[in-house]
Structure 1
């Protein structure tokens, strides 16, 4: 059974990260974000399930448990005797993953609740009297865009329209779900944290592209992003939402993509690479569950 642990817990998550790194900028950003987020989530779930399988095996190796259920604990332990540590290490890692996923889920729910405000019917824009420059989308039904007066004063009318189009694109595509999916995947397996950064970048790129279509000017969107990023630089972000000017060094990349668009790759073979890795891990995990059942059956006397 050890090969299942190696493949799903040790090998596939880093390979998913490598595939994301190689392919993220080669596809249309909306499709790339969806592929990367779901592939990471499937790989993370497979990893956690494998840990659960080995954690159950650790419990089955306890003599008292074997006596209770009528199997030989020695036979169960002998299956991975050459790597005796793997079962109990899996139990520890599984506990850490469950705690991490639960914490991340509660944080998402709390953030969504804190961002909701009562709005008049049909009003999806909230303008806050705040000199700091912020603009972000808060998911919901239907969701709303929050803009501070500090941000509004920095933008021309055309740039403000571009900013609103960007944020409404986030809401229309429900990009927060892809980000949440990627973050839950990373909570399942820490190697997948790099995928979160890429999915975040890709949904911003997707919103940029939609905003450029809506306002009819890629340059205007690029200018709005640049102004918003400069205004927000050096200030810690304490709000929840999907931002026109995301943190870190991705803004120059986004502006460059808007001003100098590149053709995207339409190869299906490349698109299915991360998906294939994730599906292979899921299938391998199913075999791990089957192998554990077979092992417990073989450990029963007679």
Structure 2
């Protein structure tokens, strides 16, 4: 079973990060964001499942468990006799993963609870001089903008800002961000992929806003103006801040360049395929554990 641990826990997550580094910026941002988020979640889930399998194996090696269930604990232990530390390390890692994911889940729920906007208009303007704007998911979702941000932008730039935030809601980017956060909580090696997802969802919203307005330059100027104002603000907004949204100069540069030629979305198969490979190895690990326990009876 050790090869399943190596593949799903040690090899696939770092390979997924490498694939994201090489391929994500070649795809359309909306396609790349979905491929990265769901591949990371599947890879993290497969890794966690492998840890659970080896934790079960560690429990099966305990003589008391063998006597209770009618199998030889010595036979179970011999399967990883060359790597006796793996089952017990897996048990410790599984406990850490469960705690990390549970904590991240609670943090996400608390953040969403901070913004009870039921019954509010789709656009909520808050009396706050500090520049700020963000999208609040829901049914329907809301765009929250401070008066400081509204007064800072020209009318076309303000429309670009609204189009950008509405794109986040329409594309369900909050779900992708939550998925990536949970994946990183389950496997820290996926940290860079989760971080890059923040950039990808902002790029996807930029491009959708540019299509809605018919002007990539206006969206770029709105992004730059809002970012500079947020940095120079003498005080912070009283509302929760929006996500940092990636590297602003890089986003502006992409918008000020001509629209790049479409790249076939087939490249998204690479990270997706790596994640599915991990799932297959996890399934084989489950079968191997079942066969081992049958042989130990």
TM-score by length of 1: 0.93
Seen in structure 2, the aligned counterparts of structure 1 residues 237 and 299 have a Cα distance that, compared at 3 Å, is farther
* 1:227 equivalent in structure 2: 225
Matched, 1:84 2:84: yes
* 1:41 equivalent in structure 2: 41
Alpha-carbon distance in 2 for matches of 1:68, 1:95 = 24
Contact 1:211 1:221 in 2 (8 A): yes
Contact 2:41 2:180 in 1 (8 A): yes
Q: CA deviation at 1:196?
A: 1.2
Q: Does the residue aligned with 2:12 lie in a helix, a strand or coil? A: helix
Report 1:76-115 matches (<5 A): 76-115=76-115
Contact 2:135 2:165 in 1 (8 A): yes
Report 1:21-170 matches (<5 A): 21-120=21-120, 123-170=121-168
Q: Deviations over 1:231-267 (max 9, x none)?
A: 1127779855755xx355x111110110113223216
Q: Does the residue aligned with 2:249 lie in a helix, a strand or coil? A: helix
The two structures, once aligned, show a CA RMSD in angstroms of: 1.6
Seen in structure 2, the aligned counterparts of structure 1 residues 153 and 111 have a Cα distance that, compared at 3 Å, is same
Matched, 1:279 2:276: yes
Alpha-carbon distance in 2 for matches of 1:106, 1:79 = 38
* 2:180 equivalent in structure 1: 182
TM-score by length of 2: 0.95
Contact 1:176 1:242 in 2 (8 A): no
Alpha-carbon distance in 1 for matches of 2:113, 2:265 = 41
5+ long unaligned stretches in structure 1: none
- After the TM superposition, which segments of 4 or more aligned residues of structure 1 sit over 4 Å from their partners? 234-243
Q: CA deviation at 1:46?
A: 0.2
Seen in structure 2, the aligned counterparts of structure 1 residues 182 and 239 have a Cα distance that, compared at 3 Å, is farther
Alpha-carbon distance in 1 for matches of 2:52, 2:232 = 43
Q: Deviations over 1:62-115 (max 9, x none)?
A: 111111111111111110011100000000000110111111111111211211
Seen in structure 2, the aligned counterparts of structure 1 residues 59 and 234 have a Cα distance that, compared at 3 Å, is farther
In the comparison of the two structures, how many residue pairs are matched? 294
> Which one of the candidate residues 205, 208, 232 is aligned to 1:207?
205
Q: Does the residue aligned with 1:116 lie in a helix, a strand or coil? A: coil
Seen in structure 2, the aligned counterparts of structure 1 residues 23 and 238 have a Cα distance that, compared at 3 Å, is farther
